[in-house]
Amino acid sequence: MNYLDLAMDAALSLGAEYADIRIQKTTDQVVTMRNLSLKNADIRILDGYGIRIFKDGAWGFAHNNVFSKEAVIKTVNRAYEIACLSAKVNKDKKLRLAPERSYIASFKTPLKIDPFDIPLSQKVEMMMDVNSMMMAFEGIAQTSFHMIMHKDEKLFASTLGTRLEISHQFIDPVITATAIYDGDSQSRTFDEGGRAVGWEWIESMDLTEKAKQIAEEALMKVKADTLGPEERRTLILDPNHLGLTMHESVGHPTELDRVLGWEADFAGISFATPEKLKNYQYGSEIVNFMGDNTLEGGLATMGFDDDGVPGQKWHIIKDGILNEYGSTRDTAMEIGLDYSRGCNRATYYYDQPINRIPNLYLMPGKEKLSLGQLIADTDDGVYIQGRGSFSIDQHRVNFQFGGDFFWEIKNGKLHRPLKKVLYKSCNPEFWNSCDAICDERFWRPFGVVNCGKGQPSQTARMTHGASPARFRNIRVGGSQ
């Protein structure tokens, strides 16, 4: 049975102005090892379809997990009825969809070795080796290794004539060592945030060596000094840390649905309002952010979004100026754009797609500059590695971040490890204080696999990237 054509024909016969169907099968393998206890070895499959119908300036979305002619027709009817109900409310505030052409295309995440082809026993053996090695360190009280292998297989059809076949995969290993010393407990984590690649990525990394490093650093961290009272200092942030900083302070504020107030009741709105486009000094002149859903290995690189719009690459911030948003077909028209940037994504088949952050990264510095040179050029500061505590207000202005590991810098050298460091800043102060970015040799991507947004809540994934960068005159200090 061709459910794609069946659904689209049924939607058109009802009078839909636009409709699409996304048949989506999600397979997750989740393996969790706590010390040497296998806490979870699970394969989870979610298989179903979501049907969107656009009618009289409003959406209706219905989903189902039953694959039959009757169930598909029933779901189309339900989506249509919901759209008609929505349209009554939207009679004075009709949504519009940006024009888009049709595509017949397919996309498959490029990978050499499918992680699902690797036997569980091999994965578990590797995880036990890693945890055993960390547990051998005196003072390490708990170890964990959590790995997700994720695959989305989608068939998409729309009344524009688009037919897409998409297979998107990623893998995300996370290793944590927790040390206890003198009444304190501190963790250090290896977490690249996931990457849309195959098992060859795991094989290319020496995870045992990385685990050894985090166990040693967890022990250093739990015994480290705290920083003392907050004062204005220089910060150097590593690419992994910057991934989360940019996610919160650039990625979310430049989602067009937030800008329009569509997330006002839950995830919040944005200070980066449309009158600031092309004139607002978001960051210093060396700050350039790209939205790029064509990025190799990117978690949001999947050929097309769930509007059927192809992946694109564009400047979100150009030479420090707010340049453009991440948009969808229905948000773009609200600010007069006649195209979408292809940022409409749903997590599972039963989710209505919403405006999400694309792969978003800070462009490397144009001048040759290494991390060593950057540290050597810093008299007094703090170097933060990895991700820690993070919190930002609902307009995306004021924020406080921690990190996973900290070094005090004195006279151009890493002076001593620190723990419990926090920094506070706000937009646009923070990105305007950026005075140096290392060059492309030091640029690295880091994924985010747990971006929560929307009502009902959805968890999206995207990749960020950066070279180490320096920020001047930021409020940095110890916790409470």
Partner 1 sequence: MKTEDIRKFIIENTKADDFSCLIREVDSHETRFAQNGITQHLAGPKMGITLNLSFGKKSGSSSTNQSDEKSLLQLIKTAEDIAMLAPEDPEHIASAKEIQLPKIDNVSQATLDLSPETMVDIVQRSIDKARAMDALVSGMCEKHHHKLCMFTKNGFHGKDEFTIFGHSMTLKKGDVETKVSYDSKDYAGFDLDSLFARLASQAEALKDLKSFDAQKIAVILRPAALMELLRYMGWMLNRRQSDEGFTPFTGMLDKQCFGELFNFSSTRTRDEIIAHSFITGWGMPEGIPAQQTQWVENGVLKNMPVGRYWAEKTGAEPSGIFNMYIQGGDVSEEEMMKMVPRGLIINRFWYIRPVDMKRGELTGMTRDGVLYFEDGEIKHAVNNLRFNEIPHEMTKRFLALGKEELASASAIVPTALIGDFNFVDKTNF
* Residues from 423 through 442 that contact partner 1 (CB under 8 A): 424, 426
The nearest distance, CB 12 to partner 1, in angstroms, is 20
Q: Among 162-170, 192-200, 303-311, 396-404, which window interacts with partner 1 (CB under 8 A)?
A: 396-404
248 versus 292: smaller Cβ distance to partner 1: 248
Q: Is 82 in the site for partner 1 (CB under 8 A)?
A: yes
Instruction: Give the integer Cα–Cα distance in Å for 257 and 321.
Output: 20
Q: Among 34-42, 110-118, 204-212, 292-300, which window interacts with partner 1 (CB under 8 A)?
A: 34-42
Choose, by CB under 8 A, the member of 3, 8, 60, 430 that binds partner 1.
Answer: 60
- Residue 300 has φ and ψ, to the nearest 5°, of -100, 10
Instruction: Give the integer Cα–Cα distance in Å for 289 and 329.
Output: 22
Instruction: Give the integer Cα–Cα distance in Å for 393 and 268.
Output: 8
Q: Please, are residues 7 and 19 in contact by the beta-carbon 8 Å criterion?
A: yes
Match 């406080």 to its residue by tokens.
400
The nearest distance, CB 66 to partner 1, in angstroms, is 9
User: In the chain, how many H helices and how many E strands?
Assistant: 10, 24
**Binding residues among 297-356 for partner 1 as defined by CB under 8 A:** 330, 350, 352, 354
* CB neighbour class for 434 (10 Å; exposed up to 12, middle 13-18, buried from 19): buried
- Residue 217 has φ and ψ, to the nearest 5°, of -75, -30
The nearest distance, CB 298 to partner 1, in angstroms, is 26
**Binding residues among 444-473 for partner 1 as defined by CB under 8 A:** 454-456
36 versus 376: smaller Cβ distance to partner 1: 36
Site string for partner 1, 248-277 (x = CB under 8 A): ---------x--xxxxxxx-x---------
262 versus 442: smaller Cβ distance to partner 1: 262
176-193 burial: b if 16+ Cβ within 10 Å, else e = bbbbeeeeeebbbbbbbb
The nearest distance, CB 264 to partner 1, in angstroms, is 4
Q: Is 414 in the site for partner 1 (CB under 8 A)?
A: no
The nearest distance, CB 259 to partner 1, in angstroms, is 11
Half-sphere exposure of 357 (CA within 13 A, CB side): 32
106 versus 185: smaller Cβ distance to partner 1: 185
Size of the site for partner 1 (CB under 8 A): 80
Instruction: Give the integer Cα–Cα distance in Å for 73 and 383.
Output: 58
| Helices (H), ranges, 151-233 | 199-204, 207-222
The nearest distance, CB 134 to partner 1, in angstroms, is 15
User: How many residues in the chain?
Assistant: 480
Q: Among 16-24, 106-114, 388-396, 405-413, which window interacts with partner 1 (CB under 8 A)?
A: 388-396
**Binding residues among 120-159 for partner 1 as defined by CB under 8 A:** 120-121, 124, 128, 141-142
**Binding residues among 185-204 for partner 1 as defined by CB under 8 A:** 185-186
Nearest CA to 176 out of 223, 130, 136, 222 is that of: 130
41 versus 414: smaller Cβ distance to partner 1: 41
Q: What is the largest CA-CA distance in the chain?
A: 73
Instruction: Give the integer Cα–Cα distance in Å for 97 and 309.
Output: 12
